[in-house]
Each structure stands twice: as C-alpha cells, then as structure tokens.
Amino acid sequence: MRIFENFESEVRGYIRSFPTIFKKAKGAILTDEQDVDYIDFFAGAGTLNYGHNNDLISNALIEYLQNDGVVHGLDMATTAKKEFMETFQELILKPRNLEYKMQFTGPTGTNCVETALKLARLVKGRSNVIAFTNGYHGLSQGSLAVTGNNEYRDESYISRSNATFMPFDGYFGDFNTLEYLRKFLNDGSSGVDLPAAIIVETIQGEGGINVSSAKWLKELESICREYDILLIIDDIQVGNGRSGNFFSFEFADINPDMVTLSKSIGGGLPMALLLFKPDLDQWKPGEHTGTFRGNNLAFVASKVSLENYWQNEDLTNAVFYKEKVLKKKLEEIAQKHSDVFDIDIRGRGLAYGFEIKNDPTVAGEISSYAFEEQLIVETCGSQGQVVKFLPPLIIDEETLIEGLNRFERAITKLAS
Ligand code: PMP
C-alpha cells in the first residue's frame, strides 16, 4: 500500500505495520488524516508513558518558549538543566537512597548504552561485556554488539569479540541460568574473558516481554560484586514507571552501578540520561561529549512530568491497578481461544506480552487485524511472536477496556 503518494521512493518510513498517516494525538488516542481515532497500546515503545500531548507538559513547554528559555546551550549550564537535575535528585534518587551522578548523552537510547559500555571499559580496563539472549540495547555498533538478536546482527559490521551472551532468566525453563555464568567466570580457560560489565534489562522489551525474577537479579548482582564486574541495568524501555515503580529494578531491591534511561524520561522529547555511581566518574574533561546532549526542552518536559507524577505513589498505584484490569482481560481472551492458540501471558506493571506459542506468525496478523479495529499494538520477540501491550501509563480505565475489546475482536476474527 502506498502511503506517501508522491514521494514514496524518497523516504524510508516505519509504516509497514500501521498504513495510514497520523495527524493528531492526545492522551492514548492517535487520529489519522481521515479523522479515524486509534487507541495507542504502543506509546512509542514506552516513550509516551505520560500520553500524547499531555497538557501539563505542553503548557510548560509553551511557557518556557514564550519566555525565551534557552533551547540549546552547549557546554553551558542552564536554568532548565539545573532545575531538572534538582527535581530528579529530590523526587527520584533521594527517596530511594540512590546515589548517582547524571550524564546526559546523545539524545537516544543507544547513545546512552554506548556511554555506559565505554565508561565501564574505561573504569575496569577490560573490554568484554556480558549480555543476555534476546536482550535489546540499540542498533549502533557498540550497543548492537550486546543486542542478542541475530535478525539485526551482521558479521560484517558487528564486532562479536567484545561481548559474550549468556542465557536470560527462564531461557531454559526452570534451570537457573546463572549457574552457567558462574561456571564460565570460574573457568579461566573457557574463552569467556572477565567482563568489565554485565548489561541487562529486568524485563526484555523488544525480546518478548521476558520477565526476570527478583531472585535472579539479586544473584546477578552478587555475582557482579564477587567478580568485580559493573552491573548496568538498561531501563530505557521499562523504566520511568512502566513496571509500576519508577525504576524497574526496585522490586528486586538491587543497587546497580549504572542505569540507562531514555524514552519517557524526556516526557516524550528526545533525552537520554546515564546514571552511575560517583566513584565511576573517571572521564577526563571533554572525553565523552556531543552537541545534542541534554535537550533543554526535554529538561522542561521531564521536570514537569516528575513533579506531577512522582511526588507520591499515585502513579505507581494506578499502574498496578490497571495491570490487574489488563491481565484479567488478556487471560479471559486467552482462555476463550485456548482450543486454537497456545497462549502465554506475562509482564509487570503496564508492560505485557501475549505470546502465541504454537504459531509465531499469528502475532503479526493479530496486530494487522487490531489496526482494522482501530487499535495500535506492536509485536516483539525473536520471531515477532509476541503481541506487546505498552499503553500510556495515564490511560483511563474506560479506554484501556475499550482497547482490549478491540484486541478481542481482532483475535476472534483471526481465530474464526
Ligand atoms: N535499550 C532498550 C531496552 C530499548 O528498548 C531500546 C529501544 N527500543 C534501546 C535500548 C535503544 O534505544 P533507541 O532506539 O532510542 O536508540
């Protein structure tokens, strides 16, 4: 289907899944040029936790611009930056007893991951990094080297030598996959070099909403302490309240050495923030810079979203409440179609996966049928076999249920 009638040959768009042109968006609703409304259960893969065009954020941005706030200030301190950092410190780090330095990297998630890997290597003087099967950390060369999906990896541009993949929690059913990791670390002749860092998502977003347990994460942390390895939690997709708590690792009570944040940290605008323990700040001045680090508009958007959603536990409680609604409905749908589809439902907070285990092609078809029902849902997993639910966290219950009804109609159409 041709989307951009006159210049399709000149653009490469990400429009295979959702063949229309969107012109407006508000909250959890996207509207296309034909004035058709769609419920958005994708939310920019976790970028729009506070919804499209959140009034609080839009108004703060308008006010900032009308008052001639600094939009770009390379190598300068700005009021917007100072205020964001103070707010993040007060509302996020302090109540959780977390001590981190903040480094603003290039604007996207992959820039943040690259920075974390580079700093870990600098600090430890080692190049290997351990990452996990089905993990996703970005597609530029350094982050791609730790992304565990061969769909994206090509021998010609990937340096495989400085990353070792280990099985993620649950990769072999009930078998404790960290036994492998310990074995390799103990066995100096295995070919697995002692890594500078281990990088992991607590819930693998692109990899299929694979959820690690608190026990596994705690054991991973103690392995890092035992072997002098830095623990990097990649919270780019499931941080910022997506799993209920602000950080996705809070439920496991661990204290990572570094945390990568992007997507929703900028309130919908491009921003990436690396948090690291103060003693890791071993950069020489100017050693890791870039022109578009720390977008001032994103600081403004982020500050107002932190102030409005993270002063108390309201958003966390709302996410856990809506999780129950989502999970119950998905289970009912799975039950109704259990004679045709073998379905596994998993997730935490408002990050859920609906895997069709007996036929990996079905999830993509459900996504297309859902689009016809005016619902935006994406797929994830190594074979695209999982339908992914990531609605904006601020979605109201009625819209959430309506979206789930549309999903049900889509799967019913397919099953019949
Ligand atoms: N890490 C994780 C966990 C992600 O989900 C993503 C993006 N899906 C990235 C890193 C890369 O972010 P970006 O696409 O902004 O480079």
Q: What is the pLDDT along the chain (416 residues), one digit of tens a residue?
A: 556 655 555 555 555 678 899 999 999 999 999 999 999 999 999 999 999 999 999 999 999 999 999 999 888 999 999 999 999 999 999 999 999 999 999 899 999 999 999 999 999 999 999 999 999 999 998 899 899 888 887 766 666 558 999 999 999 999 999 999 999 999 877 788 899 999 999 999 999 999 999 999 999 999 999 999 999 999 999 999 999 999 999 999 999 999 999 999 999 999 999 999 999 999 999 899 999 999 999 999 999 999 999 998 899 999 999 999 999 999 999 999 999 999 999 999 999 999 999 999 999 999 999 999 999 999 999 999 999 999 999 999 999 999 999 999 999 998 88
- Residue 113 CB contacts under 8 Å (≥ 6 apart), including other chains: 137, 138, 142, 143, 146, 199, 234, 236, 260
**Any ligand 1 atom below 6 A from CB of 202:** no
Q: Give the DSSP H or E segment for 324.
A: helix 314-336
Residue 153 backbone phi and psi in degrees, to 5: -105, 130
Q: Compute CA distances 233 → 113, 122, 148, 213, 330, whole Å.
A: 10, 18, 15, 14, 28
Task: Report how far ligand 1's centroid is from the alpha carbon of 237 (Å).
Answer: 7
**Any ligand 1 atom below 6 A from CB of 216:** no
Task: Report how far ligand 1's centroid is from the alpha carbon of 273 (Å).
Answer: 12
Per DSSP, which regions of 18-115 are E strands?
22-26, 29-32, 37-40, 101-104
Task: Report how far ligand 1's centroid is from the alpha carbon of 228 (Å).
Answer: 26
User: Rounded CA gap, 302 and 310, in Å?
Assistant: 11
Q: Compute CA distances 400 → 53, 314, 334, whole Å.
A: 18, 18, 17
The answer to whether the beta carbons of residues 362 and 327 sit under 8 Å apart is no
Interface confidence (ipTM) of the complex: 0.99
Best CA proximity match to 137, nearest among 79, 207, 229, 211: 207
User: Rounded CA gap, 210 and 141, in Å?
Assistant: 24
User: Rounded CA gap, 128 and 141, in Å?
Assistant: 15
Task: Report how far ligand 1's centroid is from the alpha carbon of 264 (Å).
Answer: 11
Residue nearest to atom 5 of ligand 1 (CA): 237
The number of the ligand 1 atom at minimal distance from the alpha carbon of 204 is 3
Q: Buried (b) or exposed (e) across 325-343, using 16+ Cβ within 10 A? A: ebbebbeebbeebeeebeb
| The predicted structure's pLDDT at residue 4 | 62
For the beta carbon of residue 394, count every other beta carbon within 10 angstroms: 22
| The predicted structure's pLDDT at residue 73 | 87
Residue 80 backbone phi and psi in degrees, to 5: -60, -40
Q: Is the dihedral of CA 138, 143, 149, 153 positive or negative?
A: positive
Best CA proximity match to 321, nearest among 247, 401, 203, 202: 401
Residue nearest to atom 1 of ligand 1 (CA): 137
The answer to whether the beta carbons of residues 355 and 379 sit under 8 Å apart is no
| The predicted structure's pLDDT at residue 159 | 63
Coil, strand, or helix at residue 42? coil
User: Rounded CA gap, 107 and 261, in Å?
Assistant: 11
Q: State the first-to-last Cα distance of the chain, in angstroms, to the nearest integer.
A: 26
The number of the ligand 1 atom at minimal distance from the alpha carbon of 272 is 15
User: Rounded CA gap, 81 and 12, in Å?
Assistant: 34
Residue with tokens 């958003």: 315
pTM: 0.96
User: Rounded CA gap, 370 and 377, in Å?
Assistant: 7
Best CA proximity match to 28, nearest among 409, 406, 405, 394: 394
The number of the ligand 1 atom at minimal distance from the alpha carbon of 234 is 3
Task: Report how far ligand 1's centroid is from the alpha carbon of 109 (Å).
Answer: 5
**Any ligand 1 atom below 6 A from CB of 201:** yes
